[in-house]
Structure formats: structure tokens, C-alpha cells
Structure 1
Amino acid sequence: MPNDPAQLFDQEDPGRALWNPAAQTADEETLGRLRADGLAGQWARVWDRPIAYYRDKYAAAGFGPGTVPDLDDIPVTTKADLRADEALHPPFGTHRTVGVDDAVRIGRSTGTTGGRPVYVMMGRRDLQAAIELQSRAVWACGVRPGDRFAHSWPHGLYVSSGTSAFWYVKTGALELPLGPPDSPETAEDHVRLWEEFRPRGLMVTGSQLETYVEAAGRIGVDLAEVLGGATVVLFDLVYQFEGPRRRVEERFGFRIRNMSGAADIPGFGCADCDHHRGVHAPADHAVIQVCDPGTGRSLPAGERGHLVVSTFGMNAFFLRYDLEDIAVLESGPCPCGQTGQRFRVLGRAADQVRVAGRSVLPVDVQLALDPHGAPEFRLLGAGDPGRDRLELRLECADAGDAARFTEILAADLGVPVTVEPVEPGTFPRSSFKPRRVG
């Protein structure tokens, strides 16, 4: 640890557009070598260490040490698989490469997608990777040394709360870690703090933003004046799309950044750029696939499938890890100059409803409703193998409004729709991540 606190900060060219230009704009030949060497190293770890869970899994599929199989031939692993391994070998399973005695940081997922929360144990290389990759994301927001960055993420064992200070210090930004606005009084306190500190970057969910709008109204603060010109990482999938994003940017005078990631993969938070052509994956640490959930095989750009991630250069081990997010790969170069892969996450596989042979996600409904006031709703039938019509409960004035929204949704989604009207304000607003199913 340096004696001079200033040495903690990155001092090189604070005006540069990218945090790590050499890594983020590397040519395809360089990235190809990194991928090949990285995946070969991961495959060798399975057998040389060995990692019991993966060794047994891959041996059962007919593989052994030596030549790395084609990625599509390697079986995927899901969070449910890892939970099952931990149930058989409590408390932490046989799949881990970082144990309690090796970890320098520990975190835990929220468990909001079902099942026992997953512990994330980070070794030194994991922490180094997390600092590097998250510094890229903070830098992508336009936050520079001396700026303030506020966020409303949970405290305690939530994954980012134990590590975020590292990358804010590294980038020279003052972190304002507020926690979720879980009461009216807390939300009002956060708004007052924004008014005092004037953050140039902010990270909230869509549900949290509406909570803050209500709080600002109660205490007479003009959020557009406070946040005008700032960059807001707004976690709600609908803001990846031009119409909803423009509507909110114009309402508040800030610019939106989208970000996707996975709490259980160290540092895996991928941000988009000014051109909003999907989030940029860290090609020097990860290989991204979008795969058919039935076959596990790669799909071409633009087709919906499961987001499957393989990482390298870390203590943690992820090879063909199926996040069970529905995503699409983007194609073509990005005008910002970053190379490597780009993707968009569209929702959780568990939240999709199959109607008349088509998969419908909450974001599809949001996009259809957005030009018509973006009322809140709950999608029914998530996880069902198949339905003959889409059913949802929708906050609207009366049966006449429900009939109008039924027509709008049926025309936009191309499936039969039934809308049950409920009073505006019926659905509780989440203080963190909203779920629009059930």
C-alpha cells in the first residue's frame, strides 16, 4: 500500500474517453489470442487443481484433460446446479476455487430470483479484476477525479457494498453510498443529500427513481435542477431503447447509461456508451455467448437466448455459466471505438410467458405501454409452458382504459391479451429491483 494517498488514484490523463484504452480497443487478433489462452487455462484448471464439481461434470460428458473442446460442446452450468452441489456438500460445495481461507472479500446475492442467496468469495485476482472492470464502468459515465457518484445499492453483504470503495477511490471519485430508499423519510434524506453534494453520477433502479420523484415533490426539490447534466445509470431494461430513454432524459435533463452484469461474477458490470448499441463486455476477461436454452448451442446476433459467460484471468472459475437471462448479441463495430462483444439483456428466463408459441417478457409489455403513460403492471403466468393469451393486471382508471390498453398490447405484441384493471398505486414500489411478474 503506498504511503502517499494520492498514489491510490489513477493520475494518467484524466480527460481520456476510456479508462483503459489499450484493453478496451484491442484488435481482434489480440483478443483472439487472449480468449484462446484464457479458455485453455480454465480448462487445465479443472483437471490440474482439480475442481471436483467440474471435473466430474465434464468427465461424465465424455471429456478429459488436454485439448479444449469447442465451447458449444461444453455443458452449461446454472446457479441451480451450484446450489445443488452446495446442498450435497455443505456449506460451500465442491465447485469453488476460492474458499473462506483464500478470500479477501466476500459478498452475497439478494436471492430475489429464487432459492438460497449465493455467496461470492473473491481472491486477490478477483478483487483486482473487479476494480479494473468497474473502474471502466464508472469512467464510462463521464465521472472524473473530484466528481461525486451517488448510488442506492444495499449495504451489508450485498456483493458491491464490500468492494465498491476500491474502484471509486481508484478513479478519484467521491462515493456517496446511500443504500436503498426503503422509507419516505430515507428517500427525502437522499434527495437533500443530492441537493447538497450535486453528484455528477448516480446509480438507481427505475423503481427507486420514481420513489425519489415523489420524495422530491414532498419537500419541494426540483430534481431536474439538481440532476441536470449528470449521468444516471438507470437499472431498468426498458431504458436500453430509444423512446423510453429519451423520454426520461428530456424529463430530467440528465443522460442515461445502461449497465448489465451478474453479482456472482467478480467485476462483471458491463456499461454502454454514448451510442447505446448494447453494453460492452470486457473482452480481456470474458467470452459471451447467447445460447439456445434447449441445446446450449450458440445463436447468431439478434436472436434471443440465454446469456452464457466464460471468464478467465481470475481466481474464480466460470466456464459456460448460464445466467438464465434472456439476451441478444449485437453485431458490427461501435462508433465509440471499443472492440469486443456487445449484448443486451432483456429479462429473466423465469419471467417470460409463452403465449401462442411466442415468448413475452415484461420489457416487451413495458415498451408497448411506454408511449401511453407507462402504467405499472404485473404479468401473470410466468414460467408456464404455454398459454393461449397474455394476462396481466394493470394500474388504470377503469374498464374503459383497460379495453384501450388491451387493444394496444394485442396490436403491439401480436398475441391475444386480457387486461384486469386495478386502482393506480395498487402495486407496491420496490426500494431496489422491481419485479413485474406474479
Structure 2
Amino acid sequence: MFSRIVKYIVLLLVLVAIGIWFAENPGHVSIEWQGLIVDVPIILALIATLIIIGVCALIYRAWLFMRRSPKAFGSYRKEQRTHKGYDALTKGMVAVAAGDTQEARKHARKADSLLEDPSLTMLLSAQAAQLEGDDKAATRFFDEMSQTKGMEFLGLRGLLNQAISRGDNEEALKLAKQMYRLKPKTEWLSRNLFELQLEKAQWAEAENTLAGLIKNKQVDGDKGIRQKAVLMVERAKQAEAENQMEAAIKLLGQALKLDSTLIPAAQELARLLAKTNKTRKAINVIEEMWMRNPHPALYDLYQDLQGEPDALKRVRLAEKLAGKYRQHVESRVIIARAALEAQLWGEARDELETLLIEAPSARVYALMAELVETENGDLSGAREWLRKATEAPSNPAWVCDSCGDVSARWTAVCPKCQGFDTQKWQTPPQASVAQIEHQTEANKPVIV
């Protein structure tokens, strides 16, 4: 503010100084034209000159205004149309959110007629068509968007949602792959793509997608490593089906390096090693896994690999394996089973009595029933133990954490809810004796 006042004062002083100078130094300006001579004081000549310049400037400005008026008016009209177009676009979006089909359609048409850029109105038009149930029109709009620069991802997403809603997972997977190439760091897309690849048993592709999720920290590191190991087990099964035994064995070995407690990986690796005449290595795999995570299916496979027909020697084998983790429930169970087969009643009873105290379950009561019946021929006593088995905690099984489905065999994807890596070896909430017996039989591996 102060600087402006100073400028005005300085300008006034300059004008005053000029006026004084002209007053002290008077003069005339003579103009001769066509015999006419005009003499005027110099100060008047300067004022006249300034007036002429001002008039010329006004005329020039008026000419520019007239020249630019059509363009300016056109720009104004265009701006008004754009404003009305955006207003219609906004109201259309609100109508879509509110589920008002007629309003959405009306504003979509209005926006399309007012806005010159169709990419701004295609989404509204597509959503309005979806709201109206016109899937063909919606597909047409989304398809146009997928081929419009800058709108490809949005168009593909609309097509993806439509494919999923009509259950066309083949098309959904194809679209998800296209979208993933455009934006590989989009979390919801990566997860959808991963699920679709799992459904189609594309294990290698799913592993690549999982690697992206881990890299972008969109999945917990430990969980991601576990899931990668699970995928490798499925890839190994696929490789075995294609008679690529060495590749399958390598994949299972890598899976165990990622997760040393993954029972299915150890079970499959031991089976394939035995199948390729590497029985000693197969036995080592089972023994190493037993030290970390004992499982009855591993014991069954262990005995099958030994091929020992003598019941007493089978007891010694059971004790050898159980010695890797002697206090575990499964170690006591396998000794009791082997002792019963060899009719070593005392050894079987010792293990079962300990189990009845530490970890009672339906299978323990069933083994007690077998012991009572085979040792003493006590059928009434055996029936009593079987009755207790029906009331006891269920036998361990593969139980889905998501839906609670109980399965005798492990699978990477739950057969009921399609959850990935959700099966855990644990005691299910309820199970009948028939289920228990079925699971026991189904868990026995077969070497071919």
C-alpha cells in the first residue's frame, strides 16, 4: 500500500515538473498543409496528439471486438454446453447410485448430446444400460471403452464384472489377464485373477500372480510363502500326470524348503521317490517329517515302503518312527496299532491308557474295543468301548477353516467353498464312527 502511494506521488511530481518546464519555456508548433498555416502552442499540440492517439486506440479496440465476437460467442456457447453436459453427467451418476433407471437413461442421453468427448459418457451409458437390464447395450459400451485410449482398464473391468455375474469364468479369466497386464499392482484385480487361476487349475500362472501379491506386500509374507509351497505341490501332481517325474520331485523338494511342515508335500515326495526306486530317500523324507509334524498317512506309507510282513518287526518299525517324536499323540497311536496287529497286548494297553488320559478320541476308544475283544474275547466290553467312541471327540481330519467341511484327503482348494489352503489337520466339531472309519481307510496311500 505504501509503495503505491509513493508511486503516485512520484508520477504527480514528474507531471508538475513537465508543466513547469513548458511554462518557463513556451513555444509554438506550426503546421502548413494546402496553403493553410496553423500555429498552436506546444502544450496544446501535445494534448491534441494524446487525444488523437486515444481515439485511434478506441477505434482499434472496437474493431478487435467486432472481429472476435463470433468466436467469443461460440466459445461461450461451447462452455455453456460443457457445463450443462457435466451437470447431466453428475445427475446421471446420482440416478445410477439411486437405482433410478429412467433418470439415468435420460441424463445419459443428454450428457452424450452435450459433451463432445464420448469417453466421459460411455461409463454412464453402460451403467444405465446395466440398471435397465440391457446387458447387450452395456456390453457394447464397455467394449467401446476397452478400445478407447485411457479408458481400456475401465471398459475391461465392466466386461469382467459382466462375465463373473453370468458365470462365464473362462471369459472372466481372459479379461482379468488383460487387465493385469495394464495394472499389475491393483490388489483386488490380482486377488480375483489368482482365484480364477486356481479354479482353472492353472497352478504355475497362479504362482506368478502370488509372487506379485507378495512383492507388492498385498499378502502376508509367511502366508504367501506357505501358499507358494502349496501351489508347488499341485504343480508336482500336474507334472506327474504328464510323466515328468524328475520335475515333480524337484517341485516337492522346493515346497518342503519353503514349508518344512507341509505334510502333503512330504507324503507326495516320499511316494514319488518310491515310485522311482529311491525307497531309502523316501523313508528318510517320512522320518524327517515325523520329527516336525507326525501324521497317520505318513505311517501307513512308511510301513508300505518297508514291505515287512512280520507283525513283530512292524512293531519295531513303528517304534523307530515314533522315536522321532515320541511324546506326540500320533506316535503313541501308531505303536498301539502295530502292537495290536502283533498281539502285544501289554504294549498296546500302555499306549492306549496314556492316550485315554492325554488325548482321548474316537479312534482311541475304537482301539481299546479291539484290544478288549481280541485279547479276552470280551464282546460286551468291546461294545461299551465303541459306545464311548460315539461320544468321544472326533478323529482328526482335514477340516476347512472357512466352511468347516471335513475331508479324508487333503486338497489345495476346498471342494465345498473353493477356499485356497484352508484345510488344516485337526479335530472336527462332530463326526460319526462311520466317518472316522472311512477317513482312516481313505488316508492310506497307494503306491503305483
Band of TM-score, shorter chain: under 0.3
Q: Normalising to structure 2: TM-score of the pair?
A: 0.27
More helix by share: 2
Q: Which has the larger radius of gyration?
A: 2
Q: Which has the higher contact order (CA 8 A, sep 6+)?
A: 1
Q: Normalising to structure 1: TM-score of the pair?
A: 0.28
More strand by share: 1
